[in-house]
Amino acid sequence: MQIISFFRWRDGLEPAKAFEAMAKRADWKYPEGVKNVGEYWPSGGDPAIPAVVAVDDYDDPKDLMEVDLFWGEYFEITHVPCMTSEEGLRYGGEIVARMAG
């Protein structure tokens, strides 16, 4: 399943902890069952904007737990199932046809 994950810095996180997180990211590897599609670090400094947005393919939900446990001390993490626009159009057409039929 494809998941988009939003990582927002925890409220009150000290700058030293943010630097620690960046150093850990340099060595961190995605869990074996996860294929990273893209990882983005938006800029701007607005706390409402996530510090990290990742799009990943997950084979097993336990890998979501691993990500949460590893990064949870630094980030509030929200995982949302997603699909490409092409998939949405295809699935939507199939669903509408089934509902009409």
CATH architecture of 2-100: 2-Layer Sandwich (3.30)
> For residue 82, is pLDDT > 80?
yes
Predicted confidence at residue 7, as pLDDT, reads 97
Radius of gyration of the chain (CA): 17
3-state secondary structure of 16: helix
C-alpha to C-alpha distance for 92 and 16, rounded to whole angstroms: 46
Percentage of the chain modeled with pLDDT above 70: 100
Query: Count of CB atoms within 10 A of residue 43's CB?
Result: 8
Domain layout of the chain by residue ranges: 2-100
Predicted TM-score of the model (pTM) = 0.87
C-alpha to C-alpha distance for 64 and 27, rounded to whole angstroms: 19
